[in-house]
Structure 1
Amino acid sequence: MNKIWTIGHSNHSYEQFLNLLRQADITAVADVRSSPFSRHQSQFNKDILRRELRLDKIDYAFLGDELGGRPKRDDLYCEGVADYEKMAKTPDFKQGLERVIKGCAKYRIALLCSEHDPIDCHRCLLVGRALSARGFAINHILFDGKQKTQTDIEAELLRASKSNRADFFPEEQMASAYRDRAKKVAFSKINRPSSDTPPASTEQEFANR
């Protein structure tokens, strides 16, 4: 089975980030941030990151226009929150997936976003889910270098979801669990309730989606 990795740069130094990539033998990074810049972590600004990675023999491609978590179209929002299920059906998203899939024939690819925890990020809830459905094994590189599979994440989603009902088919439970999580963490045009507001240390991460 073909594998694809994901990683969040969080507040790593470039050296820490590079070490995580090398531990997983990553040879190409696909940047899926809608806005590939960080006010507080400038080492992950697109042009700087591309240059540094290429010096370290890792290819870089920006796919935020196709696979980013912050859609430009108003019809891709539901009550002000980015709707991942609608986004996954757009031609641009499907084209972005095909670019990643094609790249897997040559590279070991890591999808890059900013959040350190994949369960809080569209790289997992949107892109990872879509690639998993296409038969790819998805491994999420965590802050400490350990990895979680998409299957591990789905088990967490089910435990946290209210969709574990006997009258739901398993696929309906899973879809509902993804939907529940996306409503809490997807990019929002409106102010969320305080319980859903990210901690101060990750506010910039959410802005970079």
Structure 2
Amino acid sequence: MWEIFTIGYSSHTLQSFCALLNQYGITAVADVRSNPHSKFKPEFNRGHLTVALRKMGIAYVFLGNQCGARPNMPGCYIDGAVDFDILGHRPEFQQGIKRLHEGMAQFRVALMCAEKDPIMCHRMVLVSRHLGRISHVNVRHILGDGRCEEHCEAEARLLKLFDLASEELPGFGRSYEERLDEAYRRQAERIAHHADEDAEETVRVKHA
């Protein structure tokens, strides 16, 4: 079983962020931000971060062009908002997933984006969902307080967010997989980037 981690930096200093990477034995960071720069936390700009990680012996790779949530591809937008289902089937995205999968053979990888909570970020709602479908891949999310959440636990929170956690009437209701699909779809709609936004890293959350 291969493990891959995710982490958000918005609640961390560079020092505390790097300490968590060390704690979990991370040897490579895959940056899935569409824009690898931060006005609010410039220490996490691509150049600065790359140097800091290199000093720790941690590799850095930018995957925002393949696995970012704000693609420069008009066909991924419906009514001005990114459609995660369309994006997830794009060959560019699938190539990014392939690169991550191949990278696990050599590195202990952490996907990095800005959001503190994984269920509020495409690293969980989009990228981790696709990684979780690969046999023998276990996705784990490093939380803001340093604890680690299994991907199935994040999915359980996602179901609860939309009151879909309880099993429906046997034989009449939807299966667990169908309810989970709905939770993913609804959360993707809530956090999707809109073409008229220029917000830096964090997502705009619409009312459920």
Counterpart in the other structure of 1:145: 146
User: Which residue matches 2:9?
Assistant: 9
Secondary structure at the counterpart of residue 205 of structure 1 = coil
Map of 1:180 onto structure 2: 186
Structure 1's unaligned 5+ residue stretches are 192-202
Q: 1:189 aligns with which of 164, 178, 195?
A: 195
- Per-residue deviation at 1:122? 0.3
Spell out, residue by residue over 1:146-200, the C-alpha distance to the aligned partner (whole angstroms, 9 max, x if none).
Answer: 0111101111111222556543232221111101111111212357xxxxxxxxx
2:97 corresponds to 1:97: yes
Q: 1:34·1:70 contact (CA, 8 Å) conserved in 2?
A: yes
Q: CA RMSD in A?
A: 1.6
For residues 186 and 114 of structure 1, the distance between their equivalents in structure 2, rounded to whole angstroms, comes to 14
Correspondence for 1:131: 131
SS of 1:92's equivalent in the other structure is helix
Give, in angstroms, the shift of residue 13 of structure 1: 1.4
Residue type at the aligned position of 1:188:
H
Note if contact 2:70-2:193 (Cα within 8 Å) is conserved in structure 1. yes
CA distance in 2, matches of 1:156, 1:11: 20
Q: Is the 8 A contact 1:81 1:187 kept in 2?
A: yes
The residue aligned with 1:44 is 44
SS in 1 for 2:125: helix
TM-score normalised per structure 1: 0.88
- The offset of 1:92, in angstroms, is 0.4
Partner deviation per Cα, 1:36-63 (whole Å, 9 max, x = no partner): 0001111100011111100111000000
CA contact (8 A) 1:4 1:109 kept: yes
2:89 maps to 1:72: no
Q: Is the 8 A contact 2:32 2:64 kept in 1?
A: yes
Does the CA-based 8 Å contact 2:33-2:201 persist in structure 1?
Answer: no
Structure 1 stretches of 4+ with a deviation exceeding 4 A read 162-166
C-alpha change, 1:146 and 1:20, in structure 2 (3 Å) is same
Give the structure-2-normalised TM-score.
0.89
Identity, % of aligned positions: 39
Contact 1:67 1:93 in 2 (8 A): yes
